[in-house]
Chain A
Amino acid sequence: MILVLFKRLFQVLVLAALQVMVLNQIHLFGYATPMPYVLFLVWLPLNSNRVGNMLWAFLLGLIIDVFSNTPGEASASMTLAALVQWPLLHASAPKDCVEDMVPTYTSMGRWNHTRYVIILTFVHHALFFLLESFSFFHLRDLLISFAASLALSVVLMLTFETLRHGK
């Protein structure tokens, strides 16, 4: 139990540090900023606690918000993505999997896993950029940013997952 707690805390800190120190500086073509910290939700096992997941996701979002002057944006988006994560994983997990399955492309199948990652990231990015439109509204720029960041995040996340679980 306590081990899981530390593991989550470690994941939160590493993902937040990566985002704040490195990835926030990237603005590919002036539009795309990768936000692969949604990986935190991807790493949650099937039998994890739903409310706990949401609290962790909120915490991760809050840390990132505080460091990037976007109060509330990442935390709100991560909380929503965490809400979606639980039913989504239960719907897309294979019927015969173990109870504490950790979603990877080997445990879920390549296509299932990719779809799972894309939907989670889509939910997160959609709310993030919607909230951003409160402080900056320029429809064309926002849509380009949204699509470009989404694509970049998904590619980064899938690449990382593939490398991590590769042989």
Chain B
Amino acid sequence: MNALSDKLKNWGHWIVFLILEVASLVLLFRFNAYQGSVWTTQANDVVGRVLEGRQRLIAYSQLGEANRQLTEMNLQLQSELDVVRHRLAELEHDSSATERAVASQLAGIHRIPAQVVSNSIRDRENYITINRGLADGVENEMGVVCGTGVVGIVYQAGQHYSLVLPVLNSRSSISCRLHDTEYFGYMKWNGGSPLLAFIDDIPRHAKIKVGEMVETSGFSSVFPAGIFVGKVRRILNSDDGLSYKLEIGLSTDFARLRNVSVIEGNPQFPAEPQNDEEEEE
């Protein structure tokens, strides 16, 4: 008995050390390799609430600026409204079939409005936390968009908060196409500026113009086709020199992200033959 307690005295800290390290590594690898448990990330309820409080505090301190922007927007909208009223009076009698089709397609897509409670843009791997979770209908692998375009994909949905893998994460890979020429590829981000991303493997014979619009391809069930992503800024050679690599100026300013919506998976998406292209590795 004495020998045992002596041994424990000498080796106890090693045993505790090993247990704790193994626990840490399990957490690390589960998070990296697989959609691990939610409670060790920002999608955890308690963590979400704390971060939300902090975000509110920051938002409160920026109310002055928000007010100014609202006033500006109000003025602009009012002047636009005038113009629209005039046009409406002219066009009232005829609402064409295409217009109705577009409206019905948009109406078919259910979106869950959410707010960003935590956001990073300068880490090597950025994540966004939003204040909607399983209880609100958010599920893993759903697309997230905002007013200016694509934001990312839900990575881990918690009960009331979810972790989003934004474009600004090296693990993000979003299937995109060029608006005019319809060449497609996967948009990746590899650190650096939060305003730029890249599309690889555009064939050499493609005639691409700088400034061309980039949108989602609709090849997966995550995003419907045609959601704005950004514009081509530069056309570079790929690393192996066999194809083009496009530098994309992202349309979404991730540094000011506040209101987003989660796109609920919907069978009414334009069904393309290729599927599951957009899963994370």
Q: Find chain B residues with CB under 8 A from A27 CB.
A: 122-123
Q: Find chain B residues with CB under 8 A from A134 CB.
A: 28-29, 32
Q: Is B41 an interface residue (CB 8 A)?
A: yes
Q: Find chain B residues with CB under 8 A from A51 CB.
A: 12-13, 16
Q: Which of B13, B21, B30, B32 contacts A80 (CB 8 A)?
A: B21
Q: Which of A21, A30, A71, A141 contacts B36 (CB 8 A)?
A: A71
Q: Is A83 an interface residue (CB 8 A)?
A: yes
Q: Which of A1-37 contact B (CB under 8 A)?
A: 21, 24, 27, 30
Q: Is B73 an interface residue (CB 8 A)?
A: no
A19 nearest CB across to chain B (Å): 13
Stretch from A60-68, A99-107, A150-158 that touches the partner: A60-68
> How far, in angstroms, from A14 to B153 measured CA to CA in the complex?
33
Q: Is A160 an interface residue (CB 8 A)?
A: no
- Cβ–Cβ contact B47 & A67, under 8 A: yes
Q: Find chain A residues with CB under 8 A from B16 CB.
A: 51, 54-55
B84 nearest CB across to chain A (Å): 42
* CB nearest neighbor in B for A132: B124
Question: Do A72 and B54 contact each other (CB < 8 Å), given the known contacts A67-B47, A79-B17?
Answer: no
14 contacts between A and B (CB under 8 A): A27-B123, A51-B12, A58-B23, A58-B24, A62-B40, A65-B27, A66-B39, A72-B27, A76-B25, A79-B24, A132-B124, A135-B32, A135-B124, A138-B124
Q: Which of B137-191 contact A (CB under 8 A)?
A: 163, 170, 191
